[in-house]
Amino acid sequence: MNLNQLNLTGFKNYAEASFDFAPGINCLIGKNGSGKTNLLDAIYYLAFAKTAFNTTDAQNIHNGQSSMTSFGKFENDLVVACNYEKRKGKTLKVNGEEEKKISNHVGAIPIVMTTPDDTDIIRESSEYRKKFFDGAIAQMNHDYLKNLIDFNKLLKQRNEHLKKAEDPNQINHTLLDTYDAKMLPVAGRISAGRNDFLKTYIPFFEKSYASLHKTEEIPSIIFKSDVLSENFPNQFSDSRKRDILMQRTLIGPHRDQYDFLLNNEAIKKFGSQGQQKTFIIGLKLAEFDMLSDAKGKRPLLLLDDIFDKLDDDRIASMVKLLSAQKRFGQIFITDARRERSKTFFKKQSVNFIEIK
């Protein structure tokens, strides 16, 4: 999968900009705040029709303008445009035709992205791990994403009703019954989707981790979900009393958990910074390999500031890894330090792009 050209209008710090990319490694060089990460986010918009970060679409419109567009030309004449206008909302067009259901498009442009914030996947709550896996599964499984969207909508409505009631007598149990009847099967499909995904993903992960690290460390990923227990429908209805007291839905796939271990110890607590970083790169490489396999084409690889906080030896092995013939397709790397990237990539043919 190659992105040949990107045109931005009113996107974050870009009032108007156009970029041409090469098929292999593209290195985006520019000072802090010049818009390197924003450019990666614009590419992410073409795949997911949303930002990779915690901002709203409205916040991503260039100051003072009323709309933004990320427009990309891919190989094989594939053209994708994602537009957001303050009044009209979002539209996604693929080859000029509007795609009404964004979930149908996710996965068409497989992407793996890593940013400095990825340490949150290890250090923060299970929410972050769930978000990482949901993104990975969604790119391979349309139905999964549809189920997730449906479930989140129902969960929001159910929680709104639980919150609205000032005392338990105001609860409309018939309404909750309808929500529950709709939610249960979807919940089952989501947690089963997560569990099935991991069965295929874990071997990819073990392999990628071993390729990054030559010691006897054994990484593992444990998935825990109440939803998968046979008794879940009963637990869910039994939980209603507590849900009403707490004014939110206390069990379901939104409470599924992923734990990351290294030699059977929580990496969050006991892993060194280096081990945590290797774990994250292993997770992303495994996502890349599994997506490549599933799609029969190599995903775009977006690497935001990956050289930061690595010593020269580790940068050198990273450069070697990225330069491996045929493993990766098109890569986008950002770096604020021009000379560093120029030195490390001097033997490779790399398309350097200066961001101003």
Binding site for Mg ion (CB under 5 A): 36-37
Nearer to ligand ADP, 30 or 233 (CB): 30
Local structure of residue 61 (DSSP, 8 states): B
Task: Enumerate the β-bridge partners of residue 67.
Answer: 85
Task: Determine the Cα–Cα distance for residues 149 and 324; give it in Å rounded to an integer.
Answer: 38
List the one residue out of 24, 58, 21 whose CA is nearest residue 39: 21
Q: How far is the CB of 46 from ligand ADP (least distance, A)?
A: 16
Q: How far is the CB of 337 from Mg ion (least distance, A)?
A: 12
Task: Determine the Cα–Cα distance for residues 41 and 39; give it in Å rounded to an integer.
Answer: 5
Nearer to Mg ion, 31 or 88 (CB): 31
- 254 contacts which partner out of ligand ADP, Mg ion, none, CB within 5 to 8 A by kind? none
- 278 contacts which partner out of ligand ADP, Mg ion, none, CB within 5 to 8 A by kind? none
Residue nearest to Mg ion (CB): 37
- 70 contacts which partner out of ligand ADP, Mg ion, none, CB within 5 to 8 A by kind? none
Q: How far is the CB of 353 from ligand ADP (least distance, A)?
A: 12
- 35 contacts which partner out of ligand ADP, Mg ion, none, CB within 5 to 8 A by kind? ligand ADP
Pair of tokens at residue 351: 């398309």
Nearer to Mg ion, 155 or 306 (CB): 306
The strand order across the sheet containing 265-266 reads 219-224, 257-262, 265-266
Q: How far is the CB of 340 from Mg ion (least distance, A)?
A: 15
Q: How far is the CB of 302 from ligand ADP (least distance, A)?
A: 12
Local structure of residue 308 (DSSP, 8 states): T
Cβ–Cβ under 8 Å, residues 60 and 42 = no
Nearer to ligand ADP, 65 or 257 (CB): 65
Residues that bind ligand ADP (CB under 6 A): 12-13, 30, 32-38, 59-63
**DSSP helix/strand/coil, 167:** coil
- Number of Cβ atoms within 10 Å of the Cβ of 77: 8
Q: How far is the CB of 117 from Mg ion (least distance, A)?
A: 10
Nearer to ligand ADP, 38 or 141 (CB): 38
Task: Determine the Cα–Cα distance for residues 9 and 67; give it in Å rounded to an integer.
Answer: 8
* Cα dihedral 206→209→211→212 (10° resolution): 180
